[in-house]
């Protein structure tokens, strides 16, 4: 199994060693973790701060051991529940079939702890059911996500460094309201003190996070999933405004929330899509080009240029390739 070299991973590995080897010394713990004895003692201190009863005794036969109250009660799964768990994990993380993957290792431990009649079909499913990668899914860093979730729970302001899809990078303070998973992507929904507005940021694009220290009160009674949908298309560098020659209900089937807000016009035969983007080329070539309805770019010079580039490229595809000119006698 590949070692998890993150501090959090070493602390969890230290707990596992303490449970498996009662009486393990600081030197032995350090050797198994690949760290100094001072670092090993620090991990023990972290466990104690988390209210895990790690006891220590001095002398030639002394060492660390976990006291009473730490072992969890046995988990009891039905066969249907176990298979459902394996399916959910594979659906969310295709690497879970790999024993060297952290999620795969955790899933393997659960399956091995199950009774034979329940664990065998679960192990078989895990071995033979493979998940194709979702090209749209992006998994953010575990430590960054964990820090954001903790800040959401504690309602503590965070300072983060963000890098947009276009490569622009900035630092700002945010009040983290919620972490939302949408179609395989993880988002932080927050109040941005830089923009003085609600923002939705992709967590995999957050370069670093640091605790801001100040506490805040998140607004209550909000549907964070719906709020995320509303704000995915706002706050980016380039403005977009596109009109469609079709009624709202017909166009709405093709418009995704990150494209902006779709609104009806007074006459009802047309509708207007207003939003922002950090990537006009993608907006034009992937999103607008996929909508089988006539449209007009009403504003946004960057989007106009991107649509023109797509038009030129597709028009060139209709001409004869070089070297294939027809010779006429």
Domain match, 206 and 247 both:
no
- On whether residue 322 sits in a domain, the answer given is no
Q: What is the pLDDT of residue 274?
A: 93
Return mean pLDDT, the chain. 83
Domain match, 162 and 219 both:
yes
Please tell me whether residue 174 adopts helix, strand or coil conformation. strand
Domain match, 150 and 96 both:
no
Distance CA 45, CA 39 (A): 10
pLDDT in tens, 32-68: 888 999 999 999 998 888 778 888 887 666 788 887 6
**290, 276, 280, 284: which is closest to 312 by C-alpha?**
284
Mean pLDDT over 59-79 rounds to: 69
Q: Residue 180: which CATH number?
A: 2.30.30.520
Domain match, 301 and 250 both:
yes
What band does 5 get if pLDDT is binned at 50, 70 and 90? Answer: low
Q: What is the pLDDT of residue 166?
A: 76
Q: What is the pLDDT of residue 51?
A: 77
Q: In this predicted model, which residue has the larger pLDDT, 246 or 135?
A: 246
Mean pLDDT over 198-214 rounds to: 89
Q: What is the pLDDT of residue 65?
A: 85
Residue 282 has pLDDT above 70, yes or no: yes
pLDDT in tens, 99-140: 677 777 888 888 887 778 788 888 887 777 766 666 666 778
Print burial letters for 29-48: b (CB count within 10 Å at least 16), e (below 16).
bbebbebeeebbbbbbebbe
Domain termination site, one of 208, 231, 254: 231
Q: What is the pLDDT of residue 320?
A: 73
Q: In this predicted model, which residue has the larger pLDDT, 292 or 166?
A: 292
- Is 255 exposed, middle or buried (CB count within 10 Å of its CB: 0-12, 13-18, 19+)? buried
Q: Residue 297: which CATH number?
A: 3.30.70
What band does 327 get if pLDDT is binned at 50, 70 and 90? Answer: low
Count of the separate structural domains present in the chain: 4
- On whether residue 329 sits in a domain, the answer given is no
Q: Which stretches of 238-309 are assigned E, i.e. beta strand?
A: 238-244, 261-264, 271-277, 295-299
Element (H, E) at 52: none
Domain match, 252 and 309 both:
yes
Range of the domain at 250: 238-316
**239, 252, 249: which is closest to 302 by C-alpha?**
239
Q: Residue 53: which CATH number?
A: 1.10.10.10
Q: In this predicted model, which residue has the larger pLDDT, 244 or 4?
A: 244
Q: What is the pLDDT of residue 132?
A: 66
What band does 87 get if pLDDT is binned at 50, 70 and 90? Answer: confident
Domain match, 152 and 205 both:
yes
């Amino acid at each position: 199994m590949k070692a998890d070299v993150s501090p959090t991973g070493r602390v969890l590995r230290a707990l596992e060693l303490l449970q498996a080897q009662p009486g393990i010394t600081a030197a032995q713990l350090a050797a198994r973790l690949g760290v100094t004895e001072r670092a090993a003692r620090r991990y023990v201190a972290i466990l104690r701060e988390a209210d895990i009863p790690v006891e220590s005794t001095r002398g030639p036969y002394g060492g660390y051991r976990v006291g009473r109250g730490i072992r969890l009660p046995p988990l009891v799964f039905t066969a249907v529940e176990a298979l459902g768990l394996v399916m959910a994990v594979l659906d969310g993380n295709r690497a879970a079939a790999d024993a060297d993957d952290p999620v795969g290792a955790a899933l393997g431990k659960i399956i091995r702890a199950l009774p034979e009649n329940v664990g065998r079909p679960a192990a078989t499913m895990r071995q033979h059911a493979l998940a194709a990668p979702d090209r749209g899914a992006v998994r953010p860093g575990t430590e960054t996500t964990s820090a954001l979730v903790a800040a959401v729970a504690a309602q503590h302001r965070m300072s983060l460094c963000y890098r947009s899809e276009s490569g622009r990078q900035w630092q700002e303070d945010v009040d983290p309201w919620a972490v939302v998973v949408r179609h395989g992507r993880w988002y932080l929904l927050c109040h941005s003190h830089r923009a003085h507005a609600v923002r939705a940021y992709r967590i995999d694009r957050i370069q670093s996070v640091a605790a801001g220290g100040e506490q805040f009160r998140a607004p209550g009674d909000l549907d964070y999933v719906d709020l995320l949908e509303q704000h995915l298309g706002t706050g980016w560098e380039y403005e977009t405004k596109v009109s469609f020659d079709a009624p709202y209900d017909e166009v709405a089937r093709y418009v995704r929330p990150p494209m902006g807000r779709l609104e009806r016009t007074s006459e009802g035969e047309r509708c207007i899509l207003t939003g922002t983007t950090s990537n006009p080329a993608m907006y034009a070539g992937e999103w607008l080009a996929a909508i089988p309805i006539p449209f007009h770019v009403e504003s946004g010079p960057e989007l106009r240029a991107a649509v023109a580039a797509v038009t030129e490229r597709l028009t060139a595809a209709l001409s004869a390739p070089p070297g294939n000119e027809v010779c006429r006698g």
